[in-house]
Amino acid sequence: MHEYFRSNPCKYLARAYMQIGEGGQNLALAALSWVEMPNVDLASNLNHLVDVDVGNIIELSRETKKFEKIIYDERTFISGIKGTFVWSVEVKPVFQTVSDSLINQIITDTRQS
């Protein structure tokens, strides 16, 4: 992914993360990224790279002390493209008590049209 951006610089990048859960239990992290590329073709190429597990933007949550050891190693994610923008959301349970239905609901709720 780093090499792709070296060869094809983006116009804009934003990252965020959200903690989703109930009072510290059933806690999941959702990492979000939005990238604007110079044109639709480059955006399409980037979205393809994200979708085929070549890589993704480093999650902002991994740059915080509290969540630096959380690795989004599973491909519980959704991504998409709208014009020159590519967006993605990855979800990772923090505790083992997080249900698959909660993770699937987070992914479904983040779908952008």
Give the pLDDT score at 71.
Answer: 80
**Low-confidence residues of the chain, pLDDT below 50?**
none
Looking at residue 81, its pLDDT comes to 94
What integer pLDDT is reported at residue 45 of this predicted model?
94
Domain locations in the chain? 2-110
Q: What is the pLDDT of residue 52?
A: 83
Helix (H, G, I), strand (E, B) or coil at 76: coil
**pLDDT for 97:** 63
Q: Cα separation of 28 and 54, whole Å?
A: 23
pLDDT at 3: 87
CATH number of 2-110: 3.30.1830
| pTM of this structure | 0.75
pLDDT for the residue 87:
93
